Amino acid sequence: MKFKLIYPKWPKLNRQTEFHLPPHGPVVFAGSLPDDVEVDFVDENLEPIDFNDPVDFVGISMMLTAQVKRGWEIADIYRKNGIRVIFGGISTMLHAEETLNHADAVFLGESEGKMEKVFSDFYHNRLEKVYDYMDDRPPTEMIGTARRDILKRDLYNYRGVQMVDLVHASRGCRFNCYPCAVSYLGGRQFRPRPIDKAIEEMAAIDNNRLFIVDNSLAQNTEWEMELFREMIPLKKKWCSHPIEDDPKVLDLAAQAGAWYVYQTIFDTSDYIRGRIRRYKDHGIAVEGSILLGLDTHTEDSIKRLIDFLLEIDLDMAEFTVLAPFPHTRAFEDLSRQNRILSRDWDDYTADRVVFLPKHMTPEKLQELFYYGWDAFYRDESQEFKMFKLLRQVTEREAADQTYRPRRRDLASRAFGREARQGFGD
């Protein structure tokens, strides 16, 4: 039984240095498949799909709204040739009704414990159109080790530097932030995995550098501290979404190998200034996620925000414009106010303005998006800032003797040399 699992391509953020992380959803999903299923994984961002390759069944895994139209196209090609196609993943849940028009089946929810039935239905020619398990989430004890063996690992590097491996220690989120669909997807419930299972999985990954992709680690102080305590002996270096702003927690995170965090920065308050400083005081670098186009934003406030990012010495910044993804509060508000300008999902790349901003024209917001990238990286390019982050981690690896000289390290030195040459450093 050959199952081709496809991750459709999507355009990367305009202005951002292009690199590709190994995807997480498909490898976690693959871990939940019955043992007799042979998985052939194709990440279309990095290799073309061979539509002539014989397969029994096709799965299309979609994480982003910007992937859905390409996912539908791929499914249409296979279905025309009589191959049945099932869709799953976050964006399938956000676009379930439209996806049904291109699918033999759509799977909604988390797959652990559910795939035996789906594949049995496939074998017996009785696939259901919709497998809706959104309100029937598996206990997190059932989450197994992700099938990273299906990845073609050599593809995931940037100029020879191996990318981080992705892993998760929890699901869900108890918050309900304005532009985010996680509460729709996960029911506003924080669901930690058993710490020993998450640690076992991290320990087994043949990569010293990880990205812990949990929505936010700042959900439960005791759990977070316990996780970090258990991570210390692994000596991994990792990035993550926010860590709780508490000196005890930050201290343990640093001991556990926290390398840098992605932190949303939405204003120029003293609180944010202090939050960034506290990360840095613990040796944790910060990449800001900067979302432009909120109703509180004016042209002046956005320019002030960008000055502020430089003042607080952020290590990196990723600028996006608000995209009202389905099943978010932003989508509900902007739809109700008739402010959505495009419902072409290919436009939902988070670098194109698809709605009418409150205090400026869409064109002005688009211009400010480019201004943000250009102003922030004017004195030091993205590549140079990336190189500085990389240097931080290699120095720490050398200090705790987890530095493993491999081909990738030679490549990273070459990358550093090139980056430095650009700046006379």
Nearest approach in angstroms of CB 396 to ligand SF4 is 27
Q: How many CB atoms lie within 10 A of CB 278?
A: 15
Using CB under 6 A, pick the residue from 32, 91, 216, 289 that binds ligand SF4.
216
Report DSSP state, residue 39: E
Residue whose token pair is 């550093």 = 416
Distance separating alpha carbons of residues 74 and 71, to the nearest angstrom: 5
What's the DSSP call for residue 23? P
Q: Which of 67, 215, 289, 412 binds ligand SF4 (CB under 6 A)?
A: 215
Interaction of residue 265 with ligand SF4, rule CB under 6 A = no
Strand partners, 16: none
SS3 state at 300 = helix
Name which position in 63, 177, 356, 411 contacts ligand SF4 (CB under 6 A): 177
Angstrom CA distances, 86 to 10, 74, 105, 135, stand at 19, 11, 5, 20
CB-wise, 162 or 216, nearer to ligand SF4? 216
Supply the minimum distance, in Å, between the C-beta of residue 247 and ligand SF4. Answer: 21
Binding segment (CB under 6 A) for ligand SF4, from list 116-124, 177-185, 275-283, 378-386: 177-185
Shortest gap between Cβ of 163 and ligand SF4 (angstroms)?
22
Nearer to ligand SF4, 61 or 289 (CB): 289
Q: x/- site string to ligand SF4, residues 183 to 202, per CB under 6 A?
A: x-------------------
CA 313 to CA 108: how far, in whole Å?
A: 42
Long-range contacts of 395-403 (CB under 8 A, 24+ apart): 396/237, 396/257, 396/259, 397/208, 397/237, 400/235, 402/208, 402/235, 402/236, 402/237
Provide the minimum distance between the beta carbon of 175 and ligand SF4 in the complex, in angstroms, as a whole number.
4
Which amino acid, one-letter code, is at 182? V
DSSP 350: S
- Count of residues near ligand SF4 by CB under 6 A: 9
Contact between 327 and 94 (Cβ < 8 Å): yes
By CB under 6 A, the residues from 26 to 45 that bind ligand SF4 are none
CB 168 within 8 A of CB 212: yes
The distance from CA 416 to its chain's CA centroid, rounded to whole angstroms, is: 25
Judged by CB, which is closer to ligand SF4: 120, or 221? 221
Which stretch in 169-177, 246-254, 331-339, 417-425 sits in contact with ligand SF4 by CB under 6 A?
Answer: 169-177
For the CB of residue 177, give the shortest distance to ligand SF4 in the complex, in Å: 3
Q: From the CB of 286, what's the least distance to ligand SF4, in Å?
A: 16
Read off φ and ψ for residue 179, nearest 5 degrees.
-90, 10
Q: Provide the minimum distance between the beta carbon of 168 and ligand SF4 in the complex, in angstroms, as a whole number.
A: 12
Q: Are strands 237-240 and 209-212 parallel, antiparallel or unpaired?
A: parallel
Q: Considering the rule CB under 6 A, would residue 173 count as an interface residue with ligand SF4?
A: yes
| CB neighbourhood size of 356 (10 A) | 16
The CB-of-290 to ligand SF4 minimum distance in angstroms stands at 14
Sign of CA dihedral 330, 335, 341, 347: positive
- Of 216 and 320, which CB lies nearer to ligand SF4 in the complex structure? 216
Q: What are phi and psi of 319, to 5 degrees?
A: -95, 135
Q: How far is the CB of 174 from ligand SF4 (least distance, A)?
A: 8
Beta strands in 44-100 (DSSP E): 57-61, 84-88
Q: Can residue 322 be called a binding residue for ligand SF4 (CB under 6 A)?
A: no
Among 182, 225, 261, 290, binds ligand SF4 (CB under 6 A): 182
User: Of 16 and 176, which has the nearer Cβ to ligand SF4?
Assistant: 176
Shortest Cβ 330–ligand SF4 spacing (Å): 11
Residue 180 in contact with ligand SF4, rule: CB under 6 A: yes
- Which residues are bridge partners to 133 per DSSP? none
Q: Does 63 bind ligand SF4 (CB under 6 A)?
A: no
- Which member of 2, 141, 155, 175 binds ligand SF4 (CB under 6 A)? 175
Query: Which amino acid type is present at position 29?
Result: F
Tokens matching residue 186: 């996960």
Q: According to the binding rule CB under 6 A, does residue 176 interact with ligand SF4?
A: yes
Q: Is 332 in the site for ligand SF4 (CB under 6 A)?
A: no
Q: Which stretch binds ligand SF4 (CB under 6 A): 88-96, 170-178, 303-311, 345-353?
A: 170-178
Residues that bind ligand SF4 (CB under 6 A): 173, 175-177, 180, 182-183, 215-216
